[in-house]
Amino acid sequence: MAARVLVAAMALPLRFVREYVRASDLAVAAAVLFACSAARSRLTSRRGAPMLWPVVGVLPALFAHLGDVYDWGAAALARSGGTFPYRGAWGGGSSGVITSVPANVEHVLKTNFANYPKGPYYRERFAELLGAGIFNADGEAWRAQRSAAAAEMHSARFLEFSAGTVRRLVDGGLVPLLDALSRRREGGGAVAVDLQDVLLRFAFDNICAAALGVDPGCLAEGLPDVPFARAFERATELSLARFVTPPFVWKAKRRLRVGGERELAEAARAVRDFAGRTVADRRAELREAGTLAGRCDLLSRLMTASPPPPDAAPEGYSDEFLRDICVSFILAGRDTSSVALTWFFWLLASHPDVESRVLDDVARAAGGGRTATTMDYLHAALTESMRLYPPVPADFKEALEDDVLPDGTAVRARQRVIYFTYAMGRDKASWGPDCLEFRPERWLNKSGAFAGGAESPFKYVVFNAGPRLCVGKRFAYTQMKTVAAAVLARFRVEVVPGQEVKPKLNTTLYMKNGLMVRFASREQRHELRHHVPAAGED
């Protein structure tokens, strides 16, 4: 009886709509509602901030500026006072604020650190590739890995070993490759090569040697295709695609194992299987020989850590723990320093005065018997390059509870705070009216020594800041300074004219089209008369 009454009650309004309401009426009503909602959003939004449209949020503005999204975002932040809210499409679950205010960044990364973990939004998108690795972990899992990694990577033995791996790969792989390229001729000149690809290959070989103690051979003659490197690159790209794909789409594809999600699962499995086999082989070597005394890579040092960690099994860290932390370090070490060096060489090509001072710095270090760690001008030039072109242009944290940022911006629980590193490096309030100029001198004191330590780490967050400050910062500078000194002392890096150089929309600031260059043997290189120093070399 009750069911029949309910059906009858519903039938009357449905009949009314069918007889008296036309589709055009509904369309007009929807358009008016949309316009009113848009007007309200415009009137209540922060001055200078991008428009947040009904239903689609900030997406129209993003799509309109896909070709220059980083500069557009920096300009929008400058107009809006350094912070503005954002919202994605309905159903996407993405909302929060974007900021370039150093005080806000310090609040998130240090002052109220406990309220801003990576969060599930980030973790689930990298789950297949990184597992519970350090860059995908929060809480106690992150603290345990951070403590273990810092203890080993800051040890004297690992620092000596990692500096040695860079020198060997530069002298035995990179320099011979560039020398061969400089001698090959194409159309009357030296053959052109994508510098970004060469440096990515170098960085991959280097980080695999430092983290796993293996050589993938990416810099071998002919620049061969390496299955592990290819799988790693593809798994990274497909994991990042999840950040711009609605969750209901990629999660459905993952459940059905179709399209990019099926490819991601296969690529991530190949990466984790390779790392897992390396861990298993090293464990077997340890059982058989009783020691790994001849090995100083991160995996071997963690495997033989003494005393064992409090929560570990009697044999030390689990194989899964070792696999995940090593894969995480390969991800961090492959892209960042290689991308930073690519932008650095490009900037030098258009600033011959800076290149000349860098060459003088390298020559003095070689001729005076000093270590390359004293190449302060080179250090400043690399730091300045990363200010303008940070390897990671933006990062974010997710709020656990409601909060208010120092500039008064409210953040609700589960919202994200995106700190826009690219914009922070181009902020006049932080760097002065010449903030867009490439001027390494801003990092030197009056005596010419590097004085970057005096700057707040929360306005230069290239290596993150606070408790999550990059544990590989010293390793990265060692690698970059060694490569830059060796290459510039031996070769002129000539950028092929006519190519479009612009950032790629990605979590790492790749050059969208790579960077085609030619290498010419530097005629005056004999004038150095000394071994070109490597960073950290005694």
Q: What is the pLDDT, as a whole number, of residue 10? A: 55
**Tens digits of per-residue pLDDT, 167-197?**
999 999 999 999 998 888 766 667 899 999 9
Q: Residue 439: which pLDDT band, with cuts at 50, 70 and 90?
A: very high
Q: For position 106, what pLDDT does the model report?
A: 97
Please give, one letter per residue, the 3-state secondary structure of 406-475.
Answer: CCCCEECCCCEEEECHHHHCCCHHHHCCCCCCCCHHHHECCCCCECHHHCCCCCCCCCCCHHHCCCCHHH
Helix (H) or strand (E) holding 77: helix 69-79
Of 349, 353, 352, which is closest to residue 341 (Cα–Cα)?
349
Q: Is 96 helix (H, G, I), strand (E, B) or coil?
A: strand
Residue 90: pLDDT band with limits 50, 70, 90: confident
pLDDT grade, residue 9 (50/70/90)?
low
pLDDT digits (tens, 9 = 90+) for 329-387: 888 888 899 999 999 999 999 999 999 999 999 998 886 655 555 799 999 999 999 99
> Three-state SS for 519?
strand
435 is in an annotated binding site: no
The mean pLDDT of 76-92, rounded to a whole number, is 86
What is the per-residue pLDDT for 5? Answer: 52
Please state, in angstroms and rounded to a whole number, the distance separating the CA atoms of residues 217 and 273.
18
Q: What is the pLDDT of residue 289?
A: 86
Count of alpha carbons within 13 angstroms of residue 268, beta-carbon side: 21
Q: Read off the pLDDT band of 145 (50, 70, 90).
A: confident
Q: What are phi and psi of 516, to 5 degrees?
A: -80, 125
Which residues have a Cβ under 8 Å from the Cβ of 403 and sit 6 or more positions away? Answer: 112, 115, 410, 411
Most confident of the ranges 132-136, 429-433, 446-450: 429-433
514 — pLDDT class (breaks 50, 70, 90): very high
Alpha helical stretches, state H, 212-351: 227-241, 247-256, 259-289, 298-303, 319-349
Beta carbons of 384 and 443 less than 8 angstroms apart: yes
pLDDT digits (tens, 9 = 90+) for 299-338: 998 888 765 555 555 456 889 999 998 888 888 888 899 9
How much is the average pLDDT of 143-150?
87
Q: What is the pLDDT of residues 461-470, one digit of tens each?
A: 999 999 999 9
> How many C-alpha atoms does 85 have within 13 Å on its Cβ side?
20
Tell me how far apart the alpha carbons of residues 220 and 172 are, in angstroms, rounded to a whole number.
10
pTM, full prediction = 0.86
Distance between CA atoms of residues 106 and 424, nearest Å = 13
